[in-house]
A and B are shown apart, each in its own frame.
Chain A
Amino acid sequence: MTGPAGIPNERTRLAVAGARATVAASLKEQPRRDVVLNATFAGLLLLAVLLALAGLVALLAQAFVTGAPALGVDLVTNVPSTLHPENAGFRPAIIGSLELIAGVILFVVPIGIGAAIYLEEYADKTRWWNRAIEVNIQNLAAVPSIIYGILGLAFIVRGPLDLGFILAAGSLTLALLVLPVVVIAAREAIRAVPDSIRQGSLALGATQWQTIRAQVLPAAISGIATGVILAVSRALGEAAPLLLVGATVFVTFDPTPFSGDGYSALPVQIFQYATRPQEDFQTVAAAGVIVMLAVLLAMNSFAIWLRNRYEQRW
């Protein structure tokens, strides 16, 4: 490569310079086209986020603006009225909703967790029917809520259970609606417990049930609790199924679980106020929306806090 005197000759120098230029060029900034493409793509993604948020923000803003005048303690203590919007309140609806979700929790917690334990710990996963159950629980979670209303009407209010149009029937209907969500959440939480814990427990001479009760469930409890809270907050917001199982719109007394005089729930009451012609009732409805959103937000935040605080890190 060098000439007779050891000095790099012209050809060598040109070759080296050329090689350097190629390397420098390939390390230099990207071609214009790539830069623009990257920026456009990032911009489109940001736009998607903003659109999703915009809808939510618009909804909240409208609810607040419309409903602000009617907010006050009266809103939660007054009984509903069809004639005097200024006196209209949500008291029976709020009490009804609280009783409904109490019933939902009572039903869904033992049955949902029990089903999840069976499916994860005892069922033989190679059997086809267990795989069929797994797929169908996901399907059940996606069934429209009105279908559960029809189910409730046919089998709980009338049919085999024949409970009539009582609040307990509404509770059961809502419980069936959110049960798949609880089962799925509980299964995920149980599945997240590493197998090494089970092996360690079994190797000490514990039975399978002892292992589940003393090791798996305590470790999964935060995930299960989060799932239950999210399921319940969904049940709180459902109006469609309740319309079919007797959530009478106009009750002025505090509902009880088993009385046949009718009951109400927050989303249903909001619906009825919103469909009244008078403008002032729209305000009351909007105020009800604010109340319900506040409750839902509180519940979901609690669920997230609970999960973050007690999450088991392996």
Chain B
Amino acid sequence: MAEDKSRSETGRESREAAAQRAAIAVRPGEFQRHGSGRREKVFEMKGIEVLYSGVSAVKGISMDVHRNDITALIGPSGCGKSTLLRCLNRMNDLIPGAEVRGELLYHGEDLYGPTVDPVQARKLIGMVFQKPNPFPKSIYDNVAFGPRILGEKDDLDGKVERALREAALWEEVKDRLQDNAFGLSGGQQQRLCIARCIAVQPDTILMDEPCSALDPISTGKIEDLMIELKKEFSIVIVTHNMQQAARVSDRTAFLMVELDADEENRWGRLVEYDETEKIFTNPSDKRTEDYVSGKVG
């Protein structure tokens, strides 16, 4: 019980601390006003288009990501799911020649506006990658890296422990925090990356196929972890595994590749975005139905 309480307190704290840290000015009252539905929107995308050196990778993406949801992006290979995910924390800025058009609002503020510092944005919107990428340091230093560079050096031990507990890794590593992170198994490394991400106290976690490099047991552990984490964070996950999307997500977006008239250029399009149950049992679009039923790869 005490742990639950501390977790929700940490959650409130993290939202306030996060809001204070952001170059994006978000006033507390406004948290409630956004979103026509019952829940607040973390991301609002209107007509998002991403181009790499002038060639479109995704076009016309319009969807809203809700708070404390697990939103899944599914679709065949090459349809731009990862590209879209990387827009959400401005990681596409790191790719030379990448351009993002359209409107992307984060808690109502334009994420690509001139006053927004991408470094600040990435502190609020964390990312976990497909292949676990722990730093070549000790487990402790991996998790402590975020708070250290943020300058939050007080109670580092406490922060590291909290993050590792939230990532369901504490029990397995508490006696060997000084060991090199590379000594962990694949599933443990991925949970370490999640702990590392949590230690910075973001409000959203983006996951780019986090389980595709892991065995089924580790995958199951991370899926359980995701469901636990969504109480505090908003999660957007890209996954190749349809069943995973069906298992964990609240809403699912199905993307597909579209060809232009002369079949030379291709880009990703959002076909359907709805509650997960509807997508998998009664989709509105035939293409969605073909994909989720396995008729089309």
Contact = CB atoms under 8 A, between A and B. Distances in A.
Interface of A: 124, 126, 194, 196-197, 199-207, 210, 214-215, 218-219, 312, 314
B15 interface: no
A199 B193 CA distance: 12
B122 interface: yes
Interface of B: 89, 91, 94, 96, 119-124, 126-127, 129, 131, 133-137, 145-146, 148-150, 193, 196-197, 200
Chain A binding surface, main DSSP class = helix
Contact of A204 (B96, B122, B137): B122
B126 A203 contact: yes
B120 A204 contact: no
Nearest 7 CB-CB pairings of A with B: A205-B123, A196-B133, A203-B127, A205-B122, A200-B133, A204-B146, A210-B149
Contacts of A203: 89, 91, 122, 126-127, 129, 197
A206 B145 CA distance: 9
Nearest to A194: B133
A204 B197 contact: yes
B133 A204 contact: no
B135 A202 contact: no
A197 B297 CA distance: 32
A207 to B, nearest CB: 5
A207 B193 CA distance: 18
Nearest to B150: A205
A202 B91 contact: yes
Contacts of B131: 196
A75 to B, nearest CB: 45
6 contacts: A197-B133, A200-B193, A203-B91, A203-B129, A204-B145, A205-B149
Contacts of A312: 136
A124 B91 contact: no
Given A206-B149, A207-B119, A201 B135 contact: yes
B85 to A, nearest CB: 11
